[in-house]
Amino acid sequence: MRFTKMQGIGNDYIYVDCVRNRPPTDPASLSRAISDRHFGVGADGLILICPGERADARMRMFNADGSEAEMCGNGLRCVAKFVYDHGIARKPRLAIETGRGVLMIDLEVTNDKVSRARVNMGEPILDSAKIPTTLPGNPPVNAPLRVADRNFEVTCVSMGNPHAVMYVGDEFFQIGERDLVAELGPKIEHHSAFPRRVNAHFVKVHSPSEVTMRTWERGSGITLACGTGACAVCVAGVLSGRSARKILAHLPGGDLELEWSEADTCVYKTGPAVEVFSGEWPTA
């Protein structure tokens, strides 16, 4: 099976062209095997690029643990790059089907290759039942959450997948013997307040237009970046009065530009997309 590894600010996935090739019969098992960083290729998960019924292509995304997710913002930029660079659709604006509908991506092309992309991620979902979460509020804004003897104020947003945003101190950005994101992330992901689990984001605000964030990603653990999570952080900052509608988010893998537009209430995300290498994965 031919594959391509791509990354968006360090959020790396294995991509398979299912437009021109037969899709894998068991993508969940394949994702677990191929994502393994010691015995596989190594990635945060697997993304299948499939024929689109209503768009230029359709994206299916599987986490490293084999669970299928609704969306991946960094992965979506890389899907758009693959679709353009590999000749599936050579257009400056692409429509890609995702688990949360058809999303539009505007491409920045350099030397006939996509270098960056601006994605209309759609309107945030703020109905608690649809996020979903049982925390108080619709949506929950600065809702109390106690995890492992720590009290957090949580703002919840869905960008087609669920996110819990917490504003924290410097201790969450120190990676060492006791990494608080690694320690508390899985407890938040599986907390009973989140019936479909949740992506947990720990955020420090530098100014109304600049934040730094770290992520525990549902089904994958600590990742260098989470595009939908950065969008959720942008929305949560506005809802909780901590940041503006347009921000620069620093993630461990790089930076993303976010804007929650007042004009159409959609969230726009701009960042790079990089092809790393291609190869062959043995199949039975």
In terms of residue numbers, what domain contains 22? 2-115+271-280
Which DSSP category does 95 fall into? E
Residue 233 falls within a domain, yes or no? yes
Residue 124 falls within a domain, yes or no? no
> So what's the pLDDT on residue 100?
85
pTM for the whole thing?
Answer: 0.91
> So what's the pLDDT on residue 57?
98
CATH number, residue 61: 3.10.310.10
The b/e string for 132-171 (b: 16+ C-beta within 10 A; e otherwise) is: bbebeeebbbbbebebeeeebebbbbbbbbbbbbbbbeee
Residues in the chain with pLDDT < 50? none
Helices vs. strands in the chain: H and E counts, helices first: 4, 18
Residues 6+ apart with CB under 8 A from 25: none
> So what's the pLDDT on residue 176?
82
Examine the domain organization and report whether 49 and 102 are in the same domain: yes
Examine the domain organization and report whether 90 and 178 are in the same domain: no
> H or E segment at 64?
none
Cα 17 to chain center, whole Å?
Answer: 20
Residues 6+ apart with CB under 8 A from 149: none
> So what's the pLDDT on residue 284?
65
- Give 208-222 pLDDT, tens digit per residue: 999 999 999 999 999
Which DSSP category does 174 fall into? -
Q: How many structural domains are present in the chain? A: 2
Examine the domain organization and report whether 260 and 275 are in the same domain: no
> So what's the pLDDT on residue 283?
84
Q: Give the catalytic positions in this structure.
A: 72, 226
> So what's the pLDDT on residue 70?
85
Residue 179 falls within a domain, yes or no? yes
If 0-12 CB within 10 Å is exposed, 13-18 middle and 19+ buried, where does residue 197 land? middle
